[in-house]
Structure 1
């Protein structure tokens, strides 16, 4: 093969599939030849912080779904509520993981993520306490947990506006874990037999155990957070 033909074939092989016949000769071909674009010149790139923020918005959108589901009674409705809450927990994990992995934490994300968490937790706990299904979730426990969440979130926002940043502590992370297990179990509520045995899982009893652990850690971590904020303010 002549050298000129070899050079021409090498040049043609470097163009994308949509321009495989040779160098781009039209607007469509030129847009196709640019990385990250498709025909018509539309950019395919997604901003790094868009996906985590979208997941937070999905979590906010699940709040009314949970509320409506909890207005119904029966094991099927509770199982559906448990499934919806599980989806909310998965989106919570994913948006945090993606934000850390891509180093794409944004101001909007820092606002949306905790807001979505607080809305989901507060809505579900309030609905559980308001129901007449026996045995009931004590309203005073729900009030303490919700007030703690609002107080810490409000204090964090006020402190951040003054340039005082206090990182999350391990106590708060453990509280969140126990809280998620508690809510999931309380949503399922009923006793479910274990197949092949004479045993059964009492989800309400398990949920109350986790809720007590979450309550202790919520109060402990809340007091600790307020103390650390006051220390930082005095030092500054």
Structure 2
């Protein structure tokens, strides 16, 4: 297994997660700002490793596996931190929707890959929009500072609700793309049972 620069950036993103957690809980006034900064740095490495891999042909099987794992860990860990610090119904439900979708669609993609149909559940445009909205929401919520003229935290909550809605929409897009394959496999199984 060779470690390419994009894969090293992905590993760096994973290493940043425990650092972000530690910083988030530091008993200092700037802890939230620093945690938000670390999250931004991790999000930028996500964009950078993909760009380098495509631009310079530095793709690898390990990198292709690790990149989505790092993305999902980054989002899940951040949501857990936010819900623990602000245990509201809104934040808990939207976080559950987002994490639940990530687990479900990852399982769907894995199954589709096993049967050689991975291309049917490629990342859709709505998935990319969801990711951008979600990342902005998480940065705003991590920052958590209220300005009298701009209720930043409330904006973050609205953005996270929008991300959760886009999450459901993108999940439906992926299931719809996979549905013919799922149905065909079921029908083939039924025919095999009848014989």
Relative to the length of structure 2, the TM-score reads: 0.86
Task: Measure how far apart 1:227 and its partner are.
Answer: 1.8
Change (3 A) 1:235 1:104: farther
CA contact (8 A) 2:24 2:34 kept: no
1:59-138 matches, cutoff 5 A: 59-72=13-26, 75-132=29-86, 138=91
In the alignment, is the contact (CA less than 8 A) between 2:4 and 2:60 conserved in 1? no
Contact 1:49–1:99 (Cα < 8 Å) also in 2: no
Bigger Rg, which one:
1
Tell me which protein shows more helix as a share of its residues.
2
- Within 5 Å, give how 1:191-206 maps onto structure 2: 191-192=146-147, 200-206=149-155
Distance in structure 1 (CA, Å) of the matches to 2:139 and 2:62: 28
Picking from 162, 170, 188, the partner of 1:213 is 162
CA distance in structure 1 between the partners assigned to 2:184 and 2:3 by the alignment? 33
Structure 1 residues 130 and 140: CA distance shift in structure 2, 3 A: same
- The answer to whether the 8 A contact 2:91-2:157 is kept is no
- RCO higher in structure (CA 8 A, sep ≥6): 2
Greater Cα shift, 163-172 or 117-126: 163-172
Q: Which runs of 5+ in 2 are unaligned?
A: 186-195
> Across the two proteins, how many residue pairs are aligned to each other?
183
- The 10-residue stretch of structure 1 (82-91 or 221-230) with the greater mean CA deviation from structure 2: 221-230
User: Is 1:172 the counterpart of 2:121 in the alignment?
Assistant: no
Flag structure 1 segments of 5+ consecutive residues without an equivalent.
1-46, 193-198
Note the aligned Cα RMSD (angstroms): 2.2
Runs of 4+ in 1 over 3 A off after TM superposition: 72-75, 232-236
TM-score by length of 1: 0.71
Q: Post-superposition shift, 1:107?
A: 1.1
